[in-house]
Amino acid sequence: MGCSWIGVAVSLCFAVFSVAVAVSGQTLAMPPPLPTAVGVLSLAGMALLWRDISSKVKGDKRTLGSLLSQYVAVKAVGWLGRRQRKKLEADTLMVKQVQEETLLKRLRKNADTFYGRKYDFRSIEDAAGFRARHPITTYGDYREFIERVAAGEEKVIIAEKPLILAMTSGTSGPSAMLLSTKDTNTDFFLQGVTVCLEAMRQAFPESNSLQRTTKFFYTPTFRQSEAGIPIGPNSSTPASSRHILNLYTTPAPAFEVPSEKDTLYLHLLFALKDPSVGTLESNFASTVFYAFTALQERWQELVEDVERGTISSSLTLEPKVRSRLEALMKPDAERAAQLRAHFHEGFGGIAKRLWPHLNLVLAVDSGSNQIYGEMLREHYCRGVPFYSPFYAATEGLIGVNLWPQEPDRRYLLCPRSMFCEFLPESSLDEETPQTLLMEEVKEGESYELVITNASGLFRYRIGDIVKVTGFHNQCPIVEFQYRRGQMLNVRGEKVSEALFLGALKNAVAQWPGAQLVDYSCAESGILGDSIGGSDPHYQVFIELKGVRNLTEEQRYKLDICLQKDSAVYKSFRIKGSIGSMRVQLVSEGAFKELQRKMMAYTSTSANTFKMHRVLRRKEYAEFLLGKTVS
Q: What CATH number is associated with residue 170?
A: 3.40.50.12780
Query: Looking at residue 113, what is its pLDDT?
Result: 97
Residues 110, 601: Cα–Cα separation, whole Å: 33
* DSSP secondary structure of 403-457: -TTSSS--EEE-TTT-EEEEEEGGGTT-SSPPPEEGGG--TT-EEEEEEE-TTS-
Give me the number of domains the chain comprises: 3
User: Domain check: are 295 and 369 in the same one?
Assistant: yes
Domain of residue 254, residue span: 205-384
User: Domain check: are 172 and 124 in the same one?
Assistant: yes
Residues 180, 194: Cα–Cα separation, whole Å: 20
454 touches 184 (CB < 8 A): yes
Which among 463, 485, 507 is the end of a domain? Answer: 485
User: Domain check: are 548 and 455 in the same one?
Assistant: no
Query: Looking at residue 53, what is its pLDDT?
Result: 67
Query: Looking at residue 49, what is its pLDDT?
Result: 66
What would the pLDDT profile of 358-399 be if each residue is shown by its tens digit? 999 999 998 889 999 999 999 999 999 999 999 999 999 999
How big is the CA angle at 353 (ends 352 and 356), to the nearest 5 degrees? 65
538 touches 548 (CB < 8 A): no
User: Domain check: are 512 and 465 in the same one?
Assistant: no
Structural domain contains residue 419: yes
Which among 430, 461, 485 is the end of a domain? Answer: 485
User: Domain check: are 104 and 209 in the same one?
Assistant: no
User: Domain check: are 500 and 513 in the same one?
Assistant: yes
User: Domain check: are 601 and 566 in the same one?
Assistant: yes
Which is nearest to 587 in space by CA: 554, 539, 625, 534? 625
Residues 530, 194: Cα–Cα separation, whole Å: 51
> What does pLDDT average to in each consecutive run of 10 residues of the chain (630 residues)?
32 33 36 59 63 64 78 87 96 98 98 97 97 96 96 96 85 76 93 94 89 90 90 78 82 92 96 96 93 95 97 96 96 97 96 96 92 93 96 94 94 98 92 94 97 97 96 97 88 89 94 94 81 79 93 95 94 91 94 90 78 91 93
Query: Looking at residue 243, what is its pLDDT?
Result: 74
Residue 419 has a CB neighbour count (10 Å cut-off) of: 28
Q: What is the 3-state secondary structure (H, E, C) of 104-124?
A: HHHHHHCCCCHHHHHCCHHHC
What would the pLDDT profile of 519-550 be if each residue is shown by its tens digit? 999 998 888 755 655 689 999 999 999 998 99
User: Domain check: are 493 and 479 in the same one?
Assistant: no
How big is the CA angle at 265 (ends 164 and 342), to the nearest 5 degrees? 135
Residue 283: phi and psi, rounded to 5, are -60, -45
564 touches 543 (CB < 8 A): no
Structural domain contains residue 195: no
User: Domain check: are 596 and 534 in the same one?
Assistant: yes
- Would strands 360-364 and 279-284 be described as parallel, antiparallel, or unpaired? parallel
Tell me the whole-structure pTM to 2 decimals: 0.83
Structural domain contains residue 312: yes
User: Domain check: are 358 and 233 in the same one?
Assistant: yes
In whole angstroms, how far apart are CA 165 and each of 172, 222, 438, 604, 609?
A: 19, 10, 29, 12, 17
Query: Looking at residue 104, what is its pLDDT?
Result: 98
Query: Looking at residue 52, what is its pLDDT?
Result: 66
Which among 344, 363, 384 is the end of a domain? Answer: 384
Residues 315, 257: Cα–Cα separation, whole Å: 10
Buried/exposed code over 330-340 (b: 16+ C-beta within 10 A; e: otherwise): eebeebbebbb
Neighbouring C-alpha atoms within 13 Å toward the C-beta of 187:
26
Query: Looking at residue 192, what is its pLDDT?
Result: 95
Structural domain contains residue 61: no
Residues 404, 87: Cα–Cα separation, whole Å: 20
Query: Looking at residue 14, what is its pLDDT?
Result: 32
Query: Looking at residue 535, what is its pLDDT?
Result: 84
Q: Which residues contact 25 (CB under 8 A, 6 or more apart)?
A: none
Neighbouring C-alpha atoms within 13 Å toward the C-beta of 340:
13
User: Domain check: are 530 and 619 in the same one?
Assistant: yes
User: Domain check: are 417 and 495 in the same one?
Assistant: no
